[in-house]
Structure 1
Amino acid sequence: MAETSFKSGFVSIVGKPNVGKSSLMNKLMGENLSIITAKAQTTRHRIMGILNGDDYQLVYSDTPGILEPKYSLHEAMMTYVKVSLQDADAILLVVALEDKFEPELFERFLRMQTPIFLVINKIDRAKGSQVLDKGTYWKECIPNIQEILPVSAKTGENVDQLLPKLLALMPEHPPFFPKDEYTDRTERFFASEIIREKIFLNYEQEIPYSTEVSIQSFKEADDIIRISATIYVERDSQKGIIIGKGASLIKKVGIEARQDMEVFFNKKVFLETHVKVADNWRKQAFKLKQFGYLE
Structure 2
Amino acid sequence: MSAAPPSTTTTPPGPGRVRPGIARALAALPLAALALTGCQTHATSPSEARAEALENAGAVTGGDGGPGTAGRTADEAGGADAPVDCEKAKCIALTFDAGPGKDTPELLDILKKEKVRATFFLLGKNHVLKYPETVRRLAAEGHEVGNHTWTHQRLDGLGKDAIRDELGRTQDAIAEITGQRPTLMRPPQGRTDEEVTAVCEELGLSQVLWSTTAKDYATTDSALIEKRTLDQAGRDGIILLHDIYDGTVPAVPGIIAELKKRGYTFVTVPELLHPARPVPGTVYRP
Q: Same fold (TM over 0.5)?
A: no
**Please, what TM-score do these two structures have when normalized by structure 2?**
0.30
Higher strand residue share: 1
Q: Greater CA radius of gyration, 1 or 2?
A: 1
**Please, what TM-score do these two structures have when normalized by structure 1?**
0.29
**RCO comparison, higher one (Cα < 8 Å, 6+):** 2
